[in-house]
Homo-oligomer: A and B are copies of this chain.
Amino acid sequence: MTRIRLTLAYDGTDFSGWQLQPHDRTVQGDLEKALGRILGHSPRVHGSGRTDSGVHAMGQVCHFDCPPERADIPWQRALNSMLPTDIRVLESARVPEMFHARYSATGKIYEYVLWHTREFCLPQRRRFVWACGSVDYSLMLAGADALLGEHDFAAFQNVGTPVKSTVRTVSDISFRTGLSEHETVWRFEANGFLKQMVRNIVGCLVACGRGRITPQEVRGLLKGRNRMAAPATAPPQGLSLASVLYSSEK
């Protein structure tokens, strides 16, 4: 079999997340269906990880295997002509069988967009931002400081599939101006993220930005390892999987 890697963008609004569901529309489901129409059978598609319902992607990565005699199909063009317009294949490539979208990943970058300057969010942007209202960015950055580095992020993990370890290393939390002057894009880079970890961090940083909790209390939350003690999860529509990192030797 020949392994093919795809880089994807999707508008998560109308999907019940990435992962295949028996009755709901998912990104993995639509991809397997489109591949099935091209190949005559549906190969299993392996993503770098799940995204929640309503969460977007600009650089999700996945792979699948196909018979070597079909490997030369121009996958980007072929899949984009089959897929609904809320999923686009940005890139396709043959990769060694060693490559695994999930297990070869060495890190991920997520972005979260806050709409902060007007009382009411422009309707055209409502599917892609959290209209969190006025927040103090210096307080948010002070809170972020407490989260940088290697920590046990159990307090920032929602219940889900059990994981071996809840220790992760967050290497960057920063922000830039977004698509309009009302928006700010927060960037999160780590060697991996737990279930809803970015949304839980954003909820916590916005609580810092509103002056509800202090950076010291953020340190306390990490130590306490108790999700119930931490601020609420930020809504999904502001979040986007920006890219998946693979070290060059893999």
Contact = CB atoms under 8 A, between A and B. Distances in A.
Copies in the complex: 2
A10 B120 CA distance: 12
A197 to B, nearest CB: 22
A67 interface: no
Contacts of A88: 120-123
A248 interface: no
A122 B10 CA distance: 8
A6 to B, nearest CB: 13
Q: Tell me the interface secondary structure of chain A in the complex.
A: mixed
Nearest to A84: B123
A11 interface: yes
13 contacts: A9-B124, A11-B124, A56-B124, A58-B124, A80-B120, A85-B121, A85-B123, A85-B126, A86-B123, A88-B120, A88-B121, A179-B179, A179-B180
